[in-house]
Amino acid sequence: MDSHFADAGAFGSPSTDDPSFGVAARASLQEGRTRTLKHGDTFGVFDHNGDIHAHPAGAEGLFHRDTRHLSRLTLAIAGVRPLLLSSTLRDDNATLTCDLTNPDITDAQGETILEHDLVHIRRSRFLWKGTCHERLAVRNFADKAVSIALDIGFSADFADLFEVRGTARVRRGQTHDPQLGPDHVELAYAGLDGVVRRTHMRFFPQPDALSGSHARFDLVLAPGETRSVFLAIDCLERPNEAASRSRFFSAIREARRALRASSSRATAIITSNEIFNESLRRSVSDLYMLITDTPEGPYPYAGVPWFSTVFGRDALITAFETLWLDPVIARGVLFHLAANQAGTVDPAADAEPGKILHEVRYGEMAELGEVPFRRYYGSIDSTPLFVMLAGAYLERTGDVEVIRGLWPHIEAALDWIDQYGDRDGDGYVEYGRLNDDGLANQGWKDSHDSVFHADGTLAAGPIALCEVQAYVFGALRAARAMAEQLGHTEEAARHARRADALREAFNRDFFDAELGTYVLALDGEKRPCRVRSSNAGHALWSGIADLNQAKAVAGTLLSRSGFSGWGIRTIAAGESRYNPMSYHNGSVWPHDNALIAAGLARYGFRSAAARILDGLFAASTYIDLRRLPELFCGFSRNTSQGPTFYPVACIPQAWAAAAPLYALQSCLGLRFAVDTGSIAFDRPILPDFLDVVRLRGLRINDAMADIALRRSGQSVIVEVERRQGAVSVVTRA
């Protein structure tokens, strides 16, 4: 995927010659099954009790703009850790609630002074505008008064996110001594980049004792009495905003209102399978939690914990996956990436005029150049995907004015494809990094060993990836449609000719009849990487595949070596570098499968698309909160056993969260014709676990409809339950 995960870092340290800044997985994110909150540029990773215990390569902490502003946050009652009763996230991800109680409390002589389960603590936490708000509601269920000490421990290491991920630093800045007030503590760190980063701990009521690392509240509770303690952890400068009851409740109202307002844009999906409904609700909640408001519009950050920032490729694919139910996301992505399009050649950033952003980082290490990702353009596919998405947005919305505003950026992206993308003039787009610190592989599978030949030898560049040529084809087709809408007739014809020529060449040079699929890539000497991979499925997604080749690819992808039962593997079992526990060489990625499902449906293989959706849904039933992770291992599915988790997979991850939404659209054959105001269902199919699917508030132009799809024998019946405005619904059986 993106961003510098190396397979070598999956179960050990990254190799010394690999500049991909991989996660050294000394600790698995699966072991703790952490709880995650996010708002804007702030996210938190907590254990089930709501505590933070930072440890080497562990992800726990409160982070803001790639810096860990809190590395320890612990709660003790009478000096001991409370017992966990339950730990839940609201369905909309707005708040984390941890219910805790006291263990047996003894005195110095070992005599019990408070029996277990008599004091209940409800720990409610949420993030809003750079602040982590918390309320501790402590209730006495004993039949007599209870005197008890509540202790909150805290500290901040101000570690850069890349440090947390395992990158060693030779030098660090200076940690300041804590600054104390009667009800607050300031923790600060002066970075080598000249920036002072601060964390403000604010308490209400005033603690009975406060130091630079602990706050103690001595509570005396009558029988049945509840006392509340409020905590506000500010990652931004807010010197005059104290913690208080009113601040907590006003902020939580704003946070929930904002989530409702954004998620209400999306079409609601209700099915006959309540477990699938839970999975879909979590997908939508995760998606809107990850969306951050930018000056150009809503933008889905890639994922927590490692990728909670702007990524080009991830957001573009997430926008594709959600275009049918909320086109506003795509518009925000397009405008934000256009605003950050490269304008000059900058080898340090792998930037060239017209190229679309790969990644942005704000931490100290990025500012100092210790990692090259401050504003980094090292992805070969973001630029054609940008043009593809613009065309898909126009087709979905008919909003010509948006495309007119984006047109200079679209033309610049197309110029980049011609002038810089095709490095040797052979008609294919290749990559090769401009500096030795950049990513070695620049497709979505960007591990250092993800592109190789049949014998396992790593491919030498410049490398022309299979799926990138498919995206360029899709970009040219989209450019033709957009140019026609804008009245640029000659440009439209030129893009159409180029697309036709690329399609002919691609099916000649990339298809391998013996493999039954497209090769993974062509290396720098134009030798094919004869490897069966999921990349070939993306050729179906863009439409570049000839029909006969598409049939062969579908068969190879759905074979036992390709399809694990949970999804299609990135690399088929039996290939030289196949490893189901690797990051890119045998694992299963939900977003990859969603794109492949869309490609299969495009060529009429809807039953195959339904198999993919069935696998992803089945996997979600074994996962905490029904939350699909970034990836899971590619071991074969066994009866009554869940999937094997990948140890450092991000969860939630935007394009994984959106994957079942897109796969469902593919099964339903759902398309839009804005010129006629019609919603079409082309040969819809329902996977075996669904009998009914209802789409409420499905929008087209200024109209909307509520639509039900019901299984009837081997067919699916489409019924319009409500109509608002000029909209027609068309079904092709």
657-681 pLDDT, tens per residue? 999 999 999 999 999 999 999 999 9
H helices of 212-298, where? Answer: 245-263, 274-290
Q: Hunting for tokens 């007119």 — which residue is that? A: 404
Mean pLDDT of 158-170: 92
Question: Please, are residues 213 and 178 in contact by the beta-carbon 8 Å criterion?
Answer: yes
The third-level CATH classification (topology) of the domain covering 669-733 is Maltose phosphorylase, domain 3 (2.60.420)
Distances (CA, A) of 429 to 39, 421, 497: 37, 5, 17
pLDDT tens per residue, range 198-249: 999 999 999 999 999 999 999 999 999 999 999 999 998 776 688 889 999 9
Query: Higher model confidence: residue 511 or residue 56?
Result: 511
pLDDT tens per residue, range 460-476: 989 999 999 999 999 99
**Rounded Cα distance, 202 and 185, in Å:** 7
Hey, what amino acid is at 568? I
Specify burial of residue 44 (Cβ count, 10 A radius: 0-12, 13-18, 19+).
Answer: buried
Does the pLDDT at position 302 exceed 60?
Answer: yes
Listed by start position, the domains of the chain span: 33-260, 265-668, 669-733
Instruction: State the Rg of the chain over Cα.
Output: 27
Residue-averaged pLDDT of the chain? 93
Domain boundaries 33-260, corresponding CATH code: 2.70.98.40
pLDDT computed for residue 2 by the predictor: 44
| pLDDT interval class at 153 (50, 70, 90) | very high
Residue 657: name the closest of 280, 292, 385, 312 by CA: 280
**Rounded Cα distance, 433 and 205, in Å:** 55
pLDDT computed for residue 56 by the predictor: 62
Handedness of CA 615, 616, 619, 620 (dihedral sign): negative
pLDDT computed for residue 629 by the predictor: 94
Does the pLDDT at position 12 exceed 50?
Answer: no
**Rounded Cα distance, 690 and 594, in Å:** 18
Q: Which two tokens stand for residue 697?
A: 């508030």
Let me know if the fold of 265-668 is the same as that of 669-733.
Answer: no
| pLDDT interval class at 4 (50, 70, 90) | very low
First to last CA, the chain: 37
Half-sphere CA count of 634, side-chain side, radius 13 A: 26
**Rounded Cα distance, 203 and 248, in Å:** 11
Residue 145: how many other CB atoms lie within 10 Å: 11
| pLDDT interval class at 54 (50, 70, 90) | confident
pLDDT tens per residue, range 555-578: 999 999 999 999 999 999 999 999
**Rounded Cα distance, 352 and 363, in Å:** 24
Does the pLDDT at position 20 exceed 60?
Answer: no
| pLDDT interval class at 614 (50, 70, 90) | very high
**Rounded Cα distance, 380 and 80, in Å:** 53
Distances (CA, A) of 242 to 204, 271, 279, 606: 8, 46, 38, 57
Query: Which architecture does CATH list for 265-668?
Result: Alpha/alpha barrel (1.50)
- The DSSP output letter for 421 is I
| pLDDT interval class at 380 (50, 70, 90) | very high
pLDDT computed for residue 243 by the predictor: 84
Question: Please, are residues 59 and 35 in contact by the beta-carbon 8 Å criterion?
Answer: no
